[in-house]
Chains A and B, each alone.
Chain A
Amino acid sequence: MLESKGSKSSEGSCSELATTLKNTLNYDQLTNCMRCGFCLPACPTFRETGIEAESPRGRIALMKAVADGLMDPDYAFETQMNHCLGCRACEPACPADVKYGQLLEQARDSVEQHTESHRWWVKLARKTAFEGMFPHQGRMRLLGGALQVYQKSGLRGLVRGSGMMKLFPKHMQQMERILPDASYRGVVEQIGSVHPAKGERVGTVGLFRGCIMDVMFTETNKHTVELLNAAGFDVVIPESQNCCGALHAHSGEQDGARELAKRNIAAFKAAGVDWIASNAGGCGALLVEYDHLLHDDQQYASDAKWFAKRTLDVSKLLVEHGRLQSAAAAAAAASKVQGTAPSCGGGTAAATSAEVSENSAGCGGSCGSVSFASADPVRITYQDSCHLRNVMRSSEAPRKLMKSVANAEFVELFESDRCCGSAGIYNLTQPEMAGQILDHKMDHVKQTGAHYLLTSNPGCLLQMKLGIEKHGMSGKMEAVHLVDFLHERICKE
């Protein structure tokens, strides 16, 4: 009979990884898990497999077994830690408030320090991405530029025509097909870094522009600025900001994440903002946890708290602090709409469906508040960004905004709170599980009959585009970032 041990035991064989895990894992958090199982129904990988080890309770038990010296962490342990999506759906479901996300990061961080399972090219790719690319905004833009050349110069057509893409795994081929047009000029290069509010000023917002967001979805960043301006916010985009560090943190590169966090904190602190706006759930979730990431950094701990407290998703910022009008008023405004507004380009391709009109409301007047209109009736649905919902705990605000669009019928997607399988780079590292989860997701998406499938995070957006492509729904439905959808329908009284 094993009693759970009250202190970290040092029995059994002890690999270096075991020692690192024992020193890294927060034993109080491990003890806080009551093993009640409330997390099981919330967990996508448990749902797919029915195997206890594929659940948060099981993974915590494995971590605790290592900490208690009951088990030496082997390759299977490493695999299981990487099998978790990190969607954090278990956290809101946990009555005991166990910080599973932190435990997972501690485990992955330890694993990364000792892993021997990465082949040389995986190591090289990781090093290139985590040290050579993401931390450097300039290089990210170069990458965007390269991609832009590939997409625009005819090279893409050549590659596709030559059948060269067939050399890649199927999920990579599909990914290449749905990638939006990249840009080597980010939001600041295109529109500058200071943008005054329209009408009465509510406060100053610092926009977190992201790295992938700024290369692949520059238009969405621009639309975010314009939406915030219209709702009464001055927007500044501090130029010395960089990647949030989320991909680092989730992949066990804690030190890299901390360095990036410090630079971001310094940039926004210097800009003197009231709020920091994020338009990517995955980034935002790490931004609001900077206080945890830097909790034992004497120099940065208090500034990190300042930063984390002020970070909000753009939808929450609009709903809670912006000047917005009710749906009824929006409907009234919409009925007065004449002419067409500029259509959205770039990040969101223009509507492909004949059923979807590109008409949207023109902006008139210079004060009052923002409302959203839609000239022709459309049906919309929404896939939650897990990190927005489970970490930033914001699921109501996006829905409020969508429901306030006149002439748009909002249909709740069954299990919209379940991960779509994108999960950062999970769809690249665990294509099989990600594909399975995506297929189940698309079954529910089809049921909605929506013209637009809206999301709040670039990863989810790409995954939804992939799903639409994979399930032959292109032309019937389009995946769009919530910000782009609202921007196209903005009208001012």
Chain B
Amino acid sequence: MLGDSVKQKLREIVGSQWFKDDKESLITHSYDSTPMLQSLPDGVIYPENTAQVSAILKLLNEHRIPVVSRGSGTNLCGGTVPVEGGIVMVMHRMNRILEVDLDNLTATVQPGLNTKQFSTHVEGLGLFYPPDPGSMAISTIGGNIAECSGGLRGLKYGTTKDYVIGLEAVLANGEIIRTGGKLMKDVAGYDLTKLLVGSEGTLAVVTEAILKLIPPPKTKKTMLAMYKDLYGAARTVSKIIENRIIPATLEFLDNPTIRVVDDFAKLGLPLDMDAILLIEQDGDSETVERDIARIAEICQSENAERVTIATDEAEALKLMTARRSAFTALARLRPTTILEDATVPRSKIAEMVLAINEIAARHNVTICTFGHAGDGNLHPTATTDARDKEEIHRVEEAFEEIFEAAIRLGGTITGEHGVGLVKAPYLEWKVGSAGIEVMRSIKMAFDPNNILNPGKMFAKSTRKRVVLGHA
């Protein structure tokens, strides 16, 4: 619990209207987009600048009070749920674009800036910020940095970490550090920039970021390939990459996902198909035409029923927007959707899809699969009901096996959502006990009192790994 004197000091730092401890504020900061998790903080604070963040952390560190920094609460691993209470620090007020440097092609922004507003702004200046997480219309740049968000363009353009080249961050003791800069090369010491990207709010609070921008592609073409055979679609993904073609986007949706997305977006998608691939290529027009033609041939060779090309920009945009709704749209089937992001090397996509379906059948649970197949990042999503405890237990068992299968195929437990609370018990499966130890030491060096997002990333105990024979 927060003592009155600490509350008073917090109010003095930010002004009384920007610290809240009423029941409404606590309830509305007790969750993020992760299903079935809720935990009340003791207070909510809205800093306006780096100096305030520094003063807040210094105070909380002295009193050993936990603090979770939060953007829009769209993450899916429980990363922003304040499991140990304390303070939720909402970064929305720090939402300015401080500078777009047209000479260096960089942007300096604050963490509370909305991702989509930012990318729209730079596109208006004739530049391009590629990371496009599914939640970009809602999410913040700070949240993207904390989780190292991916998105639909990851296979060709990389993810958030590939565009963050400098940071200002506040450490647990209130010290302010600056890393990197407007630099394409910088090897002065350990790469703290990269370390902080994806550190899930456990090492420092990012207060400013320098982002790399690139020239936009000249043209873009979007196509849909439809399959009666799920595995034909999955094999197509691996085959496109084998053929040395890297599309900008290569998304996979299975039949139940197609149905709910169409129910929401009313696009007239083919409901009788087992799977569709949503493919986009960008670049100069000659390359785009050549690649799209070649991809169409590959789709045909894997027995695609139909291949269609979007007629205009508006139609392409509609398709992409609809795809971003898939995760939530699946809630139309059952009230609860539990979404994971087990990721495998791209050549193993077909095997992974097979494994997911076999595991779901064996546990008698419904798991729909969609995702960024082109970079091996699948989203197996269980549709269930949080109120059915027995079924939820079977879902958890199934996901455990899915993590296991991903690792067996040379993959990982999470491609872009982060470890947070949900996958902490499985982190050791991926990084090993020595890996966990070195990570714990890093955490200790940054945050000796464990006030920054405690209870995340490192589990109290690792789940026992049951290695199954090949099915």
> Do the two chains bind?
yes
* Chain A residues within 8 Å of B, Cβ to Cβ: 1-4, 6-7, 28, 31-32, 34-38, 40-41, 50, 52-53, 58, 61-62, 65, 70-71, 74, 76-77, 80, 94-97
Which chain A residues lie closer than 8 Å to B32 at the CB level? 35
A31 touches B387 (CB 8 A): yes
Q: With A36-B328, A41-B137, A96-B332 as given contacts, are A58 and B92 in contact (CB-CB < 8 Å)?
A: no
Which chain B residues lie closer than 8 Å to A80 at the CB level? 24
Which chain B residues lie closer than 8 Å to A37 at the CB level? 33, 72-74, 135, 138
Binds A, one of B35-43, B185-193, B198-206, B347-355: B35-43
A1 touches B39 (CB 8 A): yes
B93 touches A50 (CB 8 A): yes
Q: With A36-B74, A71-B27, A76-B23 as given contacts, are A6 and B325 in contact (CB-CB < 8 Å)?
A: no
Complex-state Cα separation, A31 to B386, whole angstroms: 8
Further pairs besides A3-B36, A28-B335: 9, Cβ < 8 Å:
A1-B39, A35-B31, A37-B33, A37-B72, A50-B93, A53-B24, A76-B24, A95-B326, A96-B332
A1 touches B83 (CB 8 A): yes
Residue B29 lies at the interface, judged by CB distance under 8 Å to chain A: yes
From B135, B329, B386, A4 is in contact (CB under 8 Å) with B386
Residue B108 lies at the interface, judged by CB distance under 8 Å to chain A: no
Which chain B residues lie closer than 8 Å to A62 at the CB level? 24, 27-28
Closest to A76 in B: B24
Complex-state Cα separation, A1 to B31, whole angstroms: 11
Which chain A residues lie closer than 8 Å to B386 at the CB level? 4, 6, 31
A96 touches B329 (CB 8 A): yes
Which chain B residues lie closer than 8 Å to A95 at the CB level? 260, 264, 325-329, 331-332
Which chain B residues lie closer than 8 Å to A2 at the CB level? 30, 38-40
Complex-state Cα separation, A148 to B195, whole angstroms: 72
From A31, A41, A71, A76, B335 is in contact (CB under 8 Å) with A31
From B28, B37, B92, B337, A53 is in contact (CB under 8 Å) with B28
Complex-state Cα separation, A4 to B114, whole angstroms: 29
Residue B336 lies at the interface, judged by CB distance under 8 Å to chain A: yes
From B24, B92, B260, A50 is in contact (CB under 8 Å) with B92
Q: How far is the CB of B368 from chain A (nearest CB, A)?
A: 14
Which chain A residues lie closer than 8 Å to B135 at the CB level? 36-38
Q: How far is the CB of B9 from chain A (nearest CB, A)?
A: 22
A38 touches B24 (CB 8 A): no
In the A-B complex, the 6 residue pairs with the smallest Cβ-Cβ separation, listed nearest first, are A6-B387, A96-B331, A95-B328, A95-B325, A95-B329, A52-B28
Complex-state Cα separation, A70 to B331, whole angstroms: 24
Closest to A59 in B: B28
A70 touches B138 (CB 8 A): no
Which chain B residues lie closer than 8 Å to A50 at the CB level? 92-93
Which chain A residues lie closer than 8 Å to B83 at the CB level? 1
Closest to A65 in B: B27
Q: How far is the CB of B30 from chain A (nearest CB, A)?
A: 7
Complex-state Cα separation, A71 to B30, whole angstroms: 13
Complex-state Cα separation, A97 to B265, whole angstroms: 11
Q: Which of B284-326 contact A (CB under 8 A)?
A: 325-326
Which chain B residues lie closer than 8 Å to A28 at the CB level? 335
Q: With A31-B335, A52-B29, A94-B328 as given contacts, are A77 and B38 in contact (CB-CB < 8 Å)?
A: no
Which chain A residues lie closer than 8 Å to B336 at the CB level? 31, 34
A71 touches B23 (CB 8 A): yes
Q: How far is the CB of A14 from chain B (nearest CB, A)?
A: 15
Q: How far is the CB of B272 from chain A (nearest CB, A)?
A: 22
Which chain B residues lie closer than 8 Å to A77 at the CB level? 24
Q: How large is the interface on B (under 10, 10 to 19, 20 to 34, 35 or more residues)?
A: 35 or more
Which chain B residues lie closer than 8 Å to A4 at the CB level? 36-38, 386
Say what secondary structure dominates the interface of chain B. Answer: loop
Which chain A residues lie closer than 8 Å to B332 at the CB level? 95-97
Q: How far is the CB of A435 from chain B (nearest CB, A)?
A: 20
Q: How far is the CB of A436 from chain B (nearest CB, A)?
A: 16
Which chain B residues lie closer than 8 Å to A41 at the CB level? 114, 116, 137-138
Closest to A6 in B: B387
Complex-state Cα separation, A38 to B116, whole angstroms: 12
Complex-state Cα separation, A359 to B92, whole angstroms: 52
Complex-state Cα separation, A40 to B386, whole angstroms: 24
Q: With A36-B74, A41-B138 as given contacts, are A61 and B331 in contact (CB-CB < 8 Å)?
A: no
Residue B103 lies at the interface, judged by CB distance under 8 Å to chain A: no
Residue B25 lies at the interface, judged by CB distance under 8 Å to chain A: yes
Residue B389 lies at the interface, judged by CB distance under 8 Å to chain A: yes
Complex-state Cα separation, A119 to B375, whole angstroms: 61
Q: How far is the CB of A227 from chain B (nearest CB, A)?
A: 28
Complex-state Cα separation, A40 to B92, whole angstroms: 13
Residue B22 lies at the interface, judged by CB distance under 8 Å to chain A: yes
Q: Which of B252-285 contact A (CB under 8 A)?
A: 260, 263-264
Q: With A4-B386, A41-B138 as given contacts, are A53 and B74 in contact (CB-CB < 8 Å)?
A: no
* Binary flags per residue of B371-404, CB closer than 8 Å to A gives 1, else 0: 0000000000000011111000000000000000
Q: How far is the CB of B119 from chain A (nearest CB, A)?
A: 14
Q: How far is the CB of B456 from chain A (nearest CB, A)?
A: 13
Q: List 16 A-B contacts (CB under 8 A).
A: A4-B37, A4-B386, A31-B335, A36-B74, A36-B328, A37-B72, A38-B325, A40-B138, A41-B138, A53-B28, A71-B23, A71-B27, A76-B23, A76-B24, A95-B328, A97-B263
Which chain A residues lie closer than 8 Å to B36 at the CB level? 3-4
Complex-state Cα separation, A392 to B264, whole angstroms: 15
Which chain A residues lie closer than 8 Å to B263 at the CB level? 97
Q: How far is the CB of A386 from chain B (nearest CB, A)?
A: 19
Complex-state Cα separation, A7 to B388, whole angstroms: 10
Q: With A31-B336, A34-B331, A38-B325 as given contacts, are A6 and B27 in contact (CB-CB < 8 Å)?
A: no
Q: How far is the CB of A119 from chain B (nearest CB, A)?
A: 23
Q: Which of B81-98 contact A (CB under 8 A)?
A: 83, 90, 92-93
Closest to B336 in A: A31
Complex-state Cα separation, A80 to B22, whole angstroms: 13
B138 touches A52 (CB 8 A): no
B329 touches A35 (CB 8 A): no
Q: How far is the CB of B71 from chain A (nearest CB, A)?
A: 10
Complex-state Cα separation, A38 to B39, whole angstroms: 22
Complex-state Cα separation, A2 to B30, whole angstroms: 9
Scoring A2, A36, A50, A53 by chain B CB atoms within 10 A of each residue's CB, the highest score goes to A36
B328 touches A96 (CB 8 A): yes
Complex-state Cα separation, A38 to B114, whole angstroms: 13
Complex-state Cα separation, A61 to B22, whole angstroms: 15
* Binary flags per residue of B68-79, CB closer than 8 Å to A gives 1, else 0: 000011100000
Which chain B residues lie closer than 8 Å to A52 at the CB level? 25, 28-29, 73, 90
From B23, B137, B389, A38 is in contact (CB under 8 Å) with B137
Q: How far is the CB of B79 from chain A (nearest CB, A)?
A: 13
Which chain A residues lie closer than 8 Å to B30 at the CB level? 2, 61
Q: How far is the CB of A101 from chain B (nearest CB, A)?
A: 17
Which chain B residues lie closer than 8 Å to A6 at the CB level? 386-389
Which chain A residues lie closer than 8 Å to B138 at the CB level? 36-38, 40-41
Which chain B residues lie closer than 8 Å to A31 at the CB level? 335-336, 385-387
Complex-state Cα separation, A8 to B40, whole angstroms: 19
Which chain B residues lie closer than 8 Å to A40 at the CB level? 72, 138
A34 touches B328 (CB 8 A): yes
Complex-state Cα separation, A472 to B138, whole angstroms: 35
Complex-state Cα separation, A77 to B24, whole angstroms: 7
Q: With A38-B137, A40-B138 as given contacts, are A7 and B35 in contact (CB-CB < 8 Å)?
A: no
Complex-state Cα separation, A95 to B336, whole angstroms: 13
Q: How far is the CB of A110 from chain B (nearest CB, A)?
A: 17
Closest to B31 in A: A35
Complex-state Cα separation, A65 to B27, whole angstroms: 7
Q: With A34-B331, A38-B137, A76-B24 as given contacts, are A61 and B31 in contact (CB-CB < 8 Å)?
A: yes
Closest to A39 in B: B138
Q: How far is the CB of A84 from chain B (nearest CB, A)?
A: 13
Complex-state Cα separation, A28 to B336, whole angstroms: 11
Which chain A residues lie closer than 8 Å to B137 at the CB level? 38, 41
